[in-house]
C-alpha cells in the first residue's frame, strides 16, 4: 500500500469553504492557547473550585447546564452539520458514518447520560460555566462534523495504521474515561453525598487502577480518546479540538491535584496530576 500524507479529498484549495474551514481551525488553535493560559491561572469555578462561581453570572441547574453545553453542540449540532454539509449525500461512504458514530458515542454519553447520572455536590452552576463550554463546543464540533461530512477517504483507508491505531486509542480512552468517572460517582454512592455542602466535605481520595498513578484519570482517558480521533481522522479539525481539550485538562488537572494535596494530609505523594509518571 502506498502511504499518502493526506488520505482523503477535502475542499479544493482557495474556495470559500476551504478558507472558512481553515480560518476557523486557526481561530480554534488560538482559543486553545488562551484557554490554557487563563485556566492555568484561575480554574473554571465549578466542582472543587466553585468559590468564585458568583462572578460568573446567575446560577442555573447543573444537570441542565451540562446537557445544554454538551448535548446541543455535540449531538444535535454535530448531526445537523454532518448531514447538511456535504457535496452530495451519495458522496458519503461507510467510513464517514463510522467516524460519525464514534464521535456520537462520546457526545451522547457526555452530553446526556453523564449529567443525568453523576452525583454533583451542588445542584447549581454559574451560567458562565455553561456558556464557556457551549460556545467553544459549537466551534470545534462544527469543524469536526464538517471534516467528516465532506472528506472522501481513500477506499483502502480502513487498513491504514492511522485509522486502526486511532480507533483503538479512541476506544481505550473512552473506557478509561468512563471507568474513572464511574469511580468518582461510586465514592459518593458508598460514602455519602454531602449535597450542597462546602469546602472538601463530600470529596474522598479515590484509590485503585489508574488512580494510583494520577489524580485525574478521567481527563487522561479523554485526552487519549481525542488523540485517537485526530489520528483516525488525520485532520486539523481533530487536532485543534484535541489541543483545546488538552488545554482544559492540563490546567484543571493541575488545580485538582494541588487541591487534593492541600485538602488531604494523607494524599499519596507519588501520584501525578494527569500523565502517569510524568506530570
Ligand atoms: N473535552 C473537554 O474539553 C472537557 C472539559 C472538561 C471536562 N470534560 C469531561 O467531563 C467529565 C467531567 O469533568 P469534570 O471536570 O466535571 O470532572 P471532575 O471534577 O473530576 O468531577 C467529575 C464528577 O465526580 C465528582 N468528584 C470529583 N472528585 C471527587 C472526589 N474526590 N470525591 C467524590 N466525588 C468527586 C464531581 O463532583 P462535583 O461536581 O460536586 O465536584 C463530579 O460529579 C470528564 O469525563 C471530563 O473528561 C471534558
Structural domain boundaries enclosing 116: 18-263
Give every CB contact of residue 155 below 8 A, 6+ residues apart in sequence.
none
Please give the pLDDT value at position 89.
54
CA distance 139 to 159: 31
Position 5 in a domain: no
**pLDDT tens, 7-58?**
999 999 999 999 999 999 999 999 999 999 999 999 999 999 998 888 899 9
**pLDDT tens, 206-242?**
999 999 999 999 999 999 999 999 999 999 999 999 9
Position 11 in a domain: no
Please give the pLDDT value at position 167.
98
Q: Residue with the nearest Cα to atom 2 of ligand 1? A: 245
Please give the pLDDT value at position 53.
81
How many CA atoms lie less than 13 Å away from 148 in the CB half-sphere?
28
**pLDDT tens, 106-158?**
999 999 999 999 999 999 999 999 999 999 999 999 999 999 999 999 999 99
Count of domains forming the chain:
1
Task: Name the grid cell of 208.
Answer: 485503585
CA distance 214 to 165: 24
Position 269 in a domain: no
Position 232 in a domain: yes
Q: Residue with the nearest Cα to atom 10 of ligand 1? A: 110
Position 229 in a domain: yes
Kindly give the distance from the C-alpha atom of residue 218 to the centroid of ligand 1, in angstroms, as a whole number: 8
- 3-state DSSP assignment of residue 138: helix
Task: Name the grid cell of 94.
Answer: 461507510
Position 271 in a domain: no
Q: Verify whether ligand 1 is closer than 6 Å to residue 241 (CB atom).
A: no
Position 44 in a domain: yes
**pLDDT tens, 56-110?**
999 999 999 999 999 999 999 999 999 998 766 567 999 999 999 999 999 999 9
φ and ψ at 125, to 5 degrees? -145, 155
Task: Name the grid cell of 170.
Answer: 479512541
| DSSP letter, residue 202 | T
Q: How far is CA 215 from CA 45, 101, 179, 202, 249, in A?
A: 19, 30, 14, 17, 12
Residue 34 CB burial class (10 angstroms; 0-12, 13-18, ≥19): exposed
**pLDDT tens, 162-211?**
999 999 999 999 999 999 999 999 999 888 777 776 778 889 999 999 99
Position 74 in a domain: yes
Q: What is the position in ligand 1's atom list of the atom closest to the CA of 256? A: 19
Amino acid at each position: 500500500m502506498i502511504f499518502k500524507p493526506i488520505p482523503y479529498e477535502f475542499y479544493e484549495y482557495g474556495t470559500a469553504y476551504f478558507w472558512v474551514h481553515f480560518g476557523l481551525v486557526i481561530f480554534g488553535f488560538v482559543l486553545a492557547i488562551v484557554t490554557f493560559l487563563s485556566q492555568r491561572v484561575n480554574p473554571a469555578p465549578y466542582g472543587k473550585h466553585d468559590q468564585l462561581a458568583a462572578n460568573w453570572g446567575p446560577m442555573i441547574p447543573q444537570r441542565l447546564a451540562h446537557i445544554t453545553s454538551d448535548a446541543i453542540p455535540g449531538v444535535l449540532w454535530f448531526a445537523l452539520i454532518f448531514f447538511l454539509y456535504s457535496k452530495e449525500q451519495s458522496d458519503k461512504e461507510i467510513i464517514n458514518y463510522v467516524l460519525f458514530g464514534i464521535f456520537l458515542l462520546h457526545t451522547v454519553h457526555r452530553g446526556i447520560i453523564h449529567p443525568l447520572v453523576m452525583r454533583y455536590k451542588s445542584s447549581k452552576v454559574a451560567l458562565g460555566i455553561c456558556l464557556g463550554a457551549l460556545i467553544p463546543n459549537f466551534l470545534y464540533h462544527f469543524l469536526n462534523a464538517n471534516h467528516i461530512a465532506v472528506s472522501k477517504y481513500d477506499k483502502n483507508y480502513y487498513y491504514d495504521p492511522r485509522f486502526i491505531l486511532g480507533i483503538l486509542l479512541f476506544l481505550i480512552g473512552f473506557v478509561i474515561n468512563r471507568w474513572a468517572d464511574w469511580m468518582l460517582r461510586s465514592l459518593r454512592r458508598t460514602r455519602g453525598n454531602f449535597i450542597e455542602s462546602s469546602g472538601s466535605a463530600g470529596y474522598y481520595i479515590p484509590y485503585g487502577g489508574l488512580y494510583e498513578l494520577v489524580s485525574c484519570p478521567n481527563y487522561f482517558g479523554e485526552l487519549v480518546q481525542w488523540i485517537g480521533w485526530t489520528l483516525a481522522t488525520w485532520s486539523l479539525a481533530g487536532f485543534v479540538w484535541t489541543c483545546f481539550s488538552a488545554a482544559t485538562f492540563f490546567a484543571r488537572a493541575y488545580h485538582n491535584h494541588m487541591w487534593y494535596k492541600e485538602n488531604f494530609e494523607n494524599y499519596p505523594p507519588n501520584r501525578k496530576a494527569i500523565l502517569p509518571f510524568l506530570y
